[in-house]
């Protein structure tokens, strides 16, 4: 179960400890990574998280402002082999990340300074479970005209689960059949497609993938 409780009490992390081929980060390493990011925080600036996947419809952490925006230089990519959560070792799926090139429309979520580290820790336990992402600060152009620096989670090419080929024809059969304790890989894509449509956001890659998944269902 992916919820606030499982992320704060360690249940979510412990649920993946016995998955073959998945090396989990310790609480100490997660904390160190988070603090390193905060140390690079632009002075006097609020902390924003750029949501481009399930953080859009199921963020789980508390925030005080949400604004649609675009991240230039990065595109959505199903470039990580998924062997836990919505996939398994015998029938792996694909997890989404950000790969260089193009642009990504999503949501920028501003965190509350009063409980910043508590809420950011929830994000880290969720996104940095095995170090598959590279967190970094990047400019996001909000649709209201502002430009903010936000934390993004991009693909980590050095991760053993990283896959270079993220073409629709490659990932489609994997996503169509993969499932795990958190549900099916297919449902993730369809939920993302619905969420983007509800917000009026566009992504041709997700559109094509979701359309193809509905055809093969």
pLDDT in tens, 81-133: 999 999 999 999 999 999 999 999 999 999 999 999 999 999 999 999 999 99
Catalytic positions are: 127
Tens of pLDDT along 138-187? 999 999 999 999 999 999 999 999 999 999 999 999 999 999 989 999 99
Radius of gyration of the chain, Cα coordinates, nearest whole angstrom: 17
Query: CA-to-CA distance for 55 and 107, rounded, in angstroms?
Result: 9
Domain layout of the chain by residue ranges: 4-216
Angle, helices 204-216 vs 185-199, to 10°: value is: 130
Query: CA-to-CA distance for 136 and 153, rounded, in angstroms?
Result: 7
- Does 14 score more than 90 pLDDT? no
Count CB-CB contacts under 10 A for residue 92: 21
The verdict on domain 4-216 having CATH code 3.10.490.10 is yes
pTM for this entry: 0.95
Tens of pLDDT along 48-85? 999 999 999 999 999 999 999 999 999 999 999 999 99
* Cα–Cα nearest to 7, from 119, 95, 135, 117: 119
């Amino acid at each position: 179960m992916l919820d606030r409780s499982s992320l704060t009490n360690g249940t979510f992390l412990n649920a993946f400890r016995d998955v073959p081929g998945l090396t989990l980060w310790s609480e100490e390493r997660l904390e160190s990574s988070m603090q390193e990011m905060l140390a690079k925080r632009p002075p006097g600036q609020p902390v924003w998280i750029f949501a481009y996947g399930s953080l859009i419809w199921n963020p789980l952490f508390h925030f005080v402002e949400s604004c649609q925006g675009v991240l230039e230089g990065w595109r959505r990519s199903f470039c990580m082999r998924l062997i836990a959560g919505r996939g398994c070792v015998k029938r792996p799926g694909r997890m989404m990340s950000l790969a260089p090139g193009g642009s990504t429309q999503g949501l920028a979520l501003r965190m509350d300074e009063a409980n910043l580290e508590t809420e950011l820790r929830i994000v880290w336990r969720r996104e940095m479970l095995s170090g598959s992402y590279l967190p970094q600060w990047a400019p996001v152009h909000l649709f209201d005209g502002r430009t903010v620096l936000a934390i993004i989670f991009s693909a980590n090419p050095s991760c053993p689960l990283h896959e270079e080929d993220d073409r629709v024809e490659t990932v489609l059969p994997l996503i169509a059949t993969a499932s795990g304790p958190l549900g099916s890989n297919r449902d993730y894509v369809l939920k993302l497609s619905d969420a983007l449509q509800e917000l009026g956001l566009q992504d041709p890659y997700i559109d094509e993938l979701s359309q193809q998944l509905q055809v093969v269902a």
